[in-house]
Amino acid sequence: MKKLLMLSVCMAFVICVSSMNQKEVQIPAAAKTGFAAKFPTAQKVKWSIEKPGEFEAEFKLNKVETSAVFDAKGNLIETETEIKESELPQAVKATIAKDFAGYKIDEIEKATNAKGATTYEMEATKGKDELEISFDASGKLLAKNPLKEDNEDREKK
């Protein structure tokens, strides 16, 4: 009973704090509740709309930049965690060394979907060639797209 009360207080706190950080973005209560249940110790939560029907919470968890995407019913769709290049699987490192030699690798994230499948996403830059690339755990290249900067990134530069 004590744990349930404490969890309820934590959830209410997270919801209140995240509500204060919003700018006219309407996040369904179920998404916030799902988030609070999965990440009760999250700090510095900032909500946004990922795409219609999907809501992203960006936050710090154990001092690590993390984000989680929920649907309107509060179901977790995907979690992304910032990692260091040294934390990449050896197979991913080998593919990068072979196919992206000379590229600077940055903004590395480990993404895990609701089914538990893990991918590794990052930015690769070489001169004017700026890419978003992703791999599965076996090192297979899943996507290679031109880097699209969002408005927040442009404002920082």
The whole domain housing 92 covers 85-156
Same domain, 89 and 45: no
- Whether 8 and 73 map to the same domain: the answer is yes
Over residues 33-64, the pLDDT tens digits come to 999 999 999 999 999 999 999 999 999 999 99
- Asked whether residue 33 falls in the same domain as residue 73, the answer is yes
Query: Do 75 and 89 reside in the same domain of the chain?
Result: no
pLDDT of residue 149: 65
The answer on 114 and 73 residing in a single domain is no
Backbone angles phi, psi at 104, to 5 degrees: -90, 125
58 lies in the same domain as 40: yes
Last residue of a domain, one of 60, 79, 98: 79
pLDDT band at 152 (very low <50, low <70, confident <90, very high): very low
Residues 127 and 147 in one domain: yes
d(CA 67, CA 59): 6
> With 60 as the cut, is the pLDDT of residue 6 above it?
no
Q: What is the pTM of this model?
A: 0.73
Contact 42, 65 (CB under 8 A): no
